[in-house]
Structure 1
Amino acid sequence: MKMKSILGACLFIVLTGFYSTLTINQQAKRIEVLIVDGFSNHDWQQTTAVTKWILEKSGRFKVDVSTIPTDSAARAAWWPEFKNYAVIIQNTNNIQNPRLRWPRKAEEALEAYVKKGGGLYILHSANNAFPHWEAYDKMIGLGWRPSSVGYALEIDDDKKIVRSPPGVGKGTGHAERFNAVIEILNRHPINQNYPDQWQTANTEVYYFPRGPAENITVLSFAYDSTGTHKTWPVEWTVRYGKGRVYNSSLGHLWKGETYPPAYRCVGYQTTVIRVTEWLATGKVTYPVPADFPTKDSQSLSSEQEFITPGKP
């Protein structure tokens, strides 16, 4: 009996050590992500909180947040160590206050980070930001810009991309939000095994998205049924130097909303996770869930699943 007790104790110690090591290794392998926020005409605080939660609940990411200070002196000194992260998620937008900008040294640091191979996620309204920043326009490919700026991309009836030069067509905008059907234009690790068409909830389809549109791959598009009655890109990637950039109009979260259907969409949440993994590694291993939406039906997670920080 004494020998059995000793063997049992030894086995317990070995297994405890094994599982502790396994846990440490799993945590060590999590992808390091930084969300940058601090100002926007959208609810950037909740957008950051929900995005961080979506990524971390997958068990694949460790997400930090860097909030740009409101004090001008502190803001001038703000300069995150981008190189410590595999992916930067850009969640700032100065469309209503053009004087709010990143310090120039932070702009240069992000440019260098992406050129050297970093991953950059342009989260929804972040593509409305920083028209003064030439390199930013090149990184995002397309954004919210006036008709005089950049090429606008449209998808014709043959699923071909039509490029309208500066001065042709309108400036970027959107009509009412609706349950858009996202259609795949180019297969990519991000949308591998997605249905050809899938329905997202209460989203914005930007018409006349504009920019340099260099080194760009349009992943998906949607028909604008509430405005122009034309078809526009929804998701695209950009190659900038050695880096990867993902940009999309998906992910709208307005002030006064709490974990809205656009964020509860299983298709959107799956895409956030797969995009971030691809930006970090160039590959996607996160599986497409069984309840992924179809062309004819949405798939929404429970409203009670996420609790907004600071609310009961």
Structure 2
Amino acid sequence: MKRFLAVLLAAFLLTTLAGPTEAETPGRDPKKLQVLILTGYNMHDWRKITESLRATLEATGRFEVRVNEEPVGCDEKTFEGYDAIVLNFTNHAGVFGPEWPDSTRRALLSVLDRGKGVVAFHAALSSHPQWPEYEKLIGGAWRQGATHAPYHTFDVDLKESEHPILQGLPRSFLQHDEINQRLTMQPGITVLATAHDDPNNCSKGPSPICGSGKDEPIMWTLPYRNGRVFTTALGHDLRSVGTPGFVATFQRGVEWAATGKVTLPPPRPFESENNPDMIQPWKKGIVIRAFADSGDFLAGTSFLRTMEDYSRVYRRARRAGFEAVQPYLELEGGLLHLETEVAQVREIASRAADEGIDLPSLEIAPLQYSFTSDDAAIRTQGVAVVRRALAIAAELGARGVLVIPGYVGKPWDAKTDQVDYEHAWDRTLAALRALAPDAEQAGVNLLVEPIWNMFLLSPLEMRRLVDEVGSPRCGVLLDTGNVTLFGFAEQWMRILGPRVKEIHLKDFRRQVGTIHGFVPLLAGDVDWVALAQAAKVAGFEGCWIAEQFPTERHGDLVLDQTSAAMDRILGRYEPTERINPHE
């Protein structure tokens, strides 16, 4: 017995003195690979790009990512517990960032000595010209004589289809980026991808820089010490790091560097008929109220007087380049209301199908029902309204119902009685939970929309609400303009992720700060490039629906302007004259 206790005590002391294992490091999720991005000095928009890289990795659920913007202070203890270090740092020409001390250099090498991984990303190829071993470590470097022709669109050709990073991927993908030429390459690397550097792609000026006319290396791997290195030359800007090809190879490359294998499933095919740069084509839609006779955004659908008016709207939408129209449900009156007969609802859907128009979701007349009211009868009626809307949406073939829970207050109406915030939360959660079985039975999503109702003010709150409802049929309709007054649409998209089922496109100028701050698409403060990229990373598959309205002086010209703006936002438009961002 004494001997047993002695052995037990020894085992306890060994475990205790050894401290936690890497997987048990406090504050880290032991089920996820730990990644540290080193950045802070760069000739690019490194802060936004770093946030994009982080979101790209975390969207898989495989990684937990942290960022260090001062790598000069790092030592071996800093890197303990990390499975991969991603380098988005450069001190090219001694201009951008400082040289690393020996302690930081040794710390990076110690990661590889532990059998873990290093990932060199884009600008990192030009880093550490005074550290000879760095060139060997990353496999290929930008040194004196290296250059590139203008940023442009090209095919990346994947060469090693049996390598774990590339298994299951297509043979090529379309990329918007730079192609480096005359890199200093090391022996013993495995080149995963190349791109042909078009000699006709030349910069302007008296001494133009043109493509090399060669197949230049784009991605490669190599073993180093006891670990692995993955290097990608791609990633000049936010557009570059948002392409499906970059996203897939970066996610898989980081996992391979960290573990030596890839468990992430191959993505869906990259190419589509309309836009070969998308994982799948996003549908371009518009609200039916955009076809109204009046510019009043609360005017309803009085302009739809006959069934032929629906067909007219669908035809006009198709002519303007839209593939979807979001119908509008009145509580009473009009052709489509709570008591509309099933046959008439189906005819509205049939006329849409005849014109090749999708009906993605159903909007209910806003602020005419409430889950948050202090009056229990009004709350009961609100649940009944949405329950009926779910049934109508199912008959239309729509996949969702837009839900505005009510309000805590109305910033545009000082006379409105305020509702207690906690009561609003509890009542909304109860209403959505009550409606979830109806939504699941109908096969229709409940789409909660953030509006100016002094409620659900952050994406963290919205995420918690949806998760606490606990139904796969409860999600979010993200209104880009509504959230821009006090936030950023791309952050809402990143934080909510797959909970976002549809997007309402509106633009907004924060400096105006009132309802008059809503402006035409591309004229406000919404960062559409960042939003589209965040949507790609999140695997968004829903419809992008413009919530725009006719103006008093220019009528339905808004339809064509909105369609052209959406083509830009969704990447369907390729400029005929390419712009060199370096000039």
Q: Counterparts in 2 of 1:96-111, with a 5 A limit?
A: 96-97=93-94, 100-111=98-109
CA contact (8 A) 2:93 2:129 kept: no
Cα offset for 1:197?
Answer: 1.9
- Per the TM alignment, residue 244 of structure 1 is displaced from its structure 2 partner at its CA by 0.5
1:110 Cα deviation (Å)? 0.8
In structure 2, which of residues 257, 267, 280 is the aligned counterpart of residue 289 of structure 1? 267
1:273 aligns with 2:251: yes
Offset at 1:289? 1.9
Separation in structure 2 between the aligned mates of residue 30 and residue 224 of structure 1, nearest angstrom: 38
- What whole-Å deviation, never above 9, does each CA across 1:108-130 have from its counterpart, x for those lacking one? 11122213312000011101100
SS at 1:28 equivalent: coil
Matching residue of 1:204: 178
Once residues 294 and 300 of structure 1 are traced to their aligned partners in structure 2, the CA distance between those partners, rounded to angstroms, is 7
* Aligned counterpart in structure 2 of residue 194 of structure 1, from 169, 175, 198: 169
CA distance in 2: counterparts of 1:30 and 1:116, whole angstroms: 18
1:220 aligns with 2:193: yes
Contact 1:195–1:294 (CA under 8 A) maintained in structure 2: no
Instruction: Give 3-state SS (helix, strand or coil) of 1:220's partner.
Output: strand
Q: 1:97 Cα deviation (Å)?
A: 2.6
2:35 to 15, 19, 33: 33
Which residue is equivalent to 1:242?
226
Residue aligning to 1:87: 84
Distance in 2 (CA, whole Å) between partners of 1:35 and 1:119 is 12
Could you tell me which amino acid in structure 1 is paired with residue 100 of structure 2? W
Tell me which of 22, 46, 49 is aligned to 1:47: 49
What does 1:254-269 align with in structure 2 at a 5 Å threshold?
260-269=238-247
Aligned position for 1:112: 110
Distance 1:91 1:145 in 2: 17
Give the letter for the 1:192 counterpart.
Q
Render the CA deviation track for 1:228-281: whole Å, top value 9, x for unaligned.
22211110112111110011211112xxxxxx3212211111111111111111
Deviation at 1:307, TM superposition (A): 3.6
**Could you say which residue in structure 2 is the equivalent of 1:174?**
148
2:135 is aligned, of 134, 137, 162, to 137
Note the alpha carbon deviations across 1:69-122, whole angstroms, 9 max, x for none. 7xxxxx4x4436213100000111011435711222011111222133120000
Name the residue aligned to 1:299.
Answer: 278
Contact 2:35–2:85 (8 Å) recurs in 1 = yes
SS at match of 2:42: coil
For structure 1, the 5+ residue unaligned runs are 1-25, 70-74, 147-170, 254-259
Q: Per-residue displacement from partner, 1:117-171 (whole Å, max 9, x unpaired)? A: 120000111011001112211101111012xxxxxxxxxxxxxxxxxxxxxxxx2
Q: Is residue 215–residue 240 contact of structure 1 (8 Å, CA) maintained in 2?
A: no
Q: Cα distance, 1:38 vs. partner?
A: 1.4
User: Relative to structure 1, is the Cα distance of residues 204 and 300 closer, same or farther in structure 2, using a 3 angstrom cutoff?
Assistant: farther
Q: Secondary structure at the match of 2:146?
A: coil
- Decide which moves more: 52-61 or 282-291: 282-291
Shift of 1:291: 4.0
After TM superposition, the structure 1 stretch with the greater mean CA deviation from structure 2, 229-238 or 109-118, is: 109-118
Question: Which one-letter code corresponds to 1:247 in the other structure?
Answer: T
Q: Which secondary structure does the structure 1 equivalent of 2:55 belong to? A: helix
Does the 8 A contact of 2:116 with 2:259 survive in 1? no
User: Which one has a larger percent helix, Structure 1 or Structure 2?
Assistant: 2
Distance 2:229 2:272 in 1: 26
8 Å CA contact 2:116, 2:226 repeated in 1 = yes
Cα displacement string for residues 39-87 of structure 1 (whole angstroms, at most 9, x for unaligned residues): 1111111121110111111111100111117xxxxx4x44362131000
In the superposition, the TM-score normalised over structure 2's length comes to 0.40
Residues 174 and 93 of structure 1, relative CA distance in 2, 3 Å threshold: same
Give the gaps of 5 or more residues in structure 2. 1-27, 202-210, 283-479, 481-488, 495-524, 527-583
Shift of 1:33: 0.4
TM-score norm. by structure 1 comes to: 0.73
CA RMSD for the aligned pairs? 2.6
**How many angstroms apart in 1 are the aligned matches of 2:172 and 2:241?**
18
Task: Report deviation, 1:297.
Answer: 2.1
CA distance in 2, matches of 1:249, 1:145: 14
2:123 matched residue in structure 1:
125
Deviates more, 1:97-106 or 1:49-58: 97-106
Q: Give the letter aligned to residue 139 of structure 2.
A: G
In structure 1, what residue type is equivalent to 2:277? Q
Identical columns (%):
32
CA distance in 2, matches of 1:27, 1:82: 16
- Aligned counterparts of 2:197 and 2:113: Cα–Cα separation in 1: 34
Shift of the alpha carbon at 1:207? 0.8
Q: Quick one: distance in 2 between partners of 1:78 and 1:195?
A: 39
C-alpha separation between the residues in 2 aligned to 1:283 and 1:181?
26
> Which amino acid in 2 is paired with 1:210?
T
